[in-house]
Chains A and B, each alone.
Chain A
């Protein structure tokens, strides 16, 4: 009581506290409104254009005219999973494609494993050095697997590896995937549809990424969808749904999509070459190349489109351990900031249309300003409330934007998924995810913001872009179709 009296004696503290509270609440409210608009747009988009359930119909519609695709698979220390990944990629249902694996100077036996599994031998393949990358040490192929090419190169990072793949590939489109990504058999066929429907303007397409932790995998394919058993990947399940089903779809409809996931995206090769390939100077190369494409196209007043297709699914493993997840989120934040500040001169400039007004403004609020303001709110607002510097109603408003609106948005995303896609196999899954959607907002979201502030700090200090290690659990063997890493 004495402390409260002391603080309240400093009359100027109250308006300061109230102003800070107002700022925190306003920023939170803006984010909530943005997410709400995204939700409505995504719901409208999905109900107007429900995905084609049967890929046979897509095959009949367009297989005669689908363009060839080169699947680029950068691999670094992936010896435990790369063979299964490549096998599943080679079995994709698509008319004409090749798989280009880029061994990016792995320190383990990734290359030897591939050579052994696919009976590879050195080959020659002429290519044009259109985009820069670290030296190529060798190329490998096999007459038994004519669709497979393996590039062995000096280590240079994921972006560098993708650039090598862009140079070597000959298809008009390339699909960048992670080495541990598992594409559904018809994922390419679905994701390529915008290139078929609008071949002149479409320059890139992103697909949905879902979490494979807990699922049953056989021969590189998800044969049974289950939920992770651990809390951390469960929380990410809801998070990914919100990001992909709601966020990406909505931005795509607004023609302000600024990100295609590095785990699964298809690009027109010539456009990637025109913009100089992936940047090796950032950890957010997937975000950065999209922004660069936007700038390049808008500067030249080219009529173009970047699409997101919610149904072609890429399954990916997410971190199950706190430290690995933290590293990932810190890296993502650094990547977002690197890209934002690189392209900040596009912000609010009419020449850059919706990218400058919607896309970058969204990044400013959510990625740049949001995390530090929210964290400041976590630290200060409860204190202000405790010491009577804040009106209780302001406290309630703060709780609303921090917790309860988030609960609504997370559950609403689940509703959308269940009404339009129904990917989760059992009602028990939906029940569990509903609980997770609530829990997510009490702790997980806040920790994420803390990590993002750490990312901010690292960015401000000029920390070098590094990927760090991802702890791989590996795929279980074929016969028992057992659960993936619980």
Chain B
């Protein structure tokens, strides 16, 4: 090992250690200073918050809040946004106007341009409070953000503000069903289905990819709106088992008359996930005419199907419980065990 190399290692390690020590010392001093500043800041936040509540009741104005915060209303951002999350109706509207006057909306607009995706996402979520043209424009622009989470947050906020973008454009921007599969998409789709179900229904009619189909069926099913059931029924034989399961779930939540026949057919579905869903639906809807078919699933090869079928029979009331007692008494093996265990677990032996 050459002398120059080894000396460099030693010098480098010393240099790095000294630099790190220096930086750490600076951070310790900064913390010491900031701790004092933080105490003062907390006092300003407390005083500012009191003025915010007074302003919401009409006893103070934005200028009073600014004065209480020593001219720095931005310190109130976290606190007032938490308050905003808890209020609704006229209080929320009043708070929104106040926060605009305090410059907090503008602060969030600036954060929407941060280089940090996490901050942009946060800002996009919080801007749902401000139903103003400038905010709508900023959120619409955020639909082209490089981060899919930011795009999704912007879309959710826009839909909360009653200004969702065109659905086809949204699908493309979010790459729904392709690369981006966040569970939060369900939250967005449910909001859209409640407010504007028609474009979702139109998309569903076009036989989209399975992942998108599941989202659409789930959202439309939860919307509680009627008139789309025949589209769901069309997909009850879809090759994708998740689609078939979701069709059952959604039709059951809409209490559609066809669900009985569909559930009966799906109790013999080749996919266990669909059989399980069919049994669950039969139990919740108390389809006692399906007791024999559900009972046969007590001997299913998949434990989860056996378990949910047993639960379904309990949910069907006395008739289902009576059937369970019969199976528990007569059958051996999987079916008997499934019946016995659920009766003991539910204490209906």
Contacts and interface: CB of A to CB of B under 8 A. Distances in A.
B1 interface: yes
Interface in B11-25: 12-14, 16-17, 19-21, 23-25
A396 B35 contact: no
B212 to A, nearest CB: 14
B231 to A, nearest CB: 24
Interface stretch (A2-10, A102-110, A119-127, A158-166): A119-127
B9 interface: yes
Contacts of A422: 31
A126 B21 contact: no
Given A124-B341, A430-B27, A49 B7 contact: no
A391 interface: yes
A65 interface: yes
Interface in A18-64: 18, 21-22, 25, 29, 47-54, 56-57, 60-62, 64
A386 to B, nearest CB: 18
B261 interface: no
Interface string B160-190: 0000000000000000000001111011001
Contacts of B9: 25, 29, 396-397, 400-401
B28 A427 contact: yes
A196 B181 contact: no
Interface in A59-110: 60-62, 64-66
Interface stretch (A365-373, A412-420, A458-466): A412-420
A427 B31 contact: yes
Interface stretch (B113-121, B244-252, B284-292): B113-121
B162 to A, nearest CB: 18
Contacts of A200: 181
B302 to A, nearest CB: 9
Query: What class of interface size applies to chain A in its complex with B?
Result: 35 or more
Interface string B70-112: 0000000010001001000000000000000000000000000
Nearest to A65: B183
Nearest 8 A/B pairs, CB to CB: A126-B341, A128-B303, A404-B13, A397-B6, A124-B344, A400-B13, A396-B10, A411-B20
Interface string B23-37: 111011101100100
A407 interface: yes
B17 A47 contact: no
Given A65-B186, A126-B342, A396 B78 contact: no
Interface in B308-323: 310
B78 A53 contact: yes
A426 B10 CA distance: 33
Contacts of A407: 13, 17, 20
A54 B10 contact: no
B28 A430 contact: yes
Given A48-B117, A391-B3, A397-B1, A65 B184 contact: yes
Given A47-B116, A49-B117, A394 B16 contact: no
A427 B341 contact: no
5 contacts: A18-B1, A54-B78, A65-B186, A124-B345, A128-B304
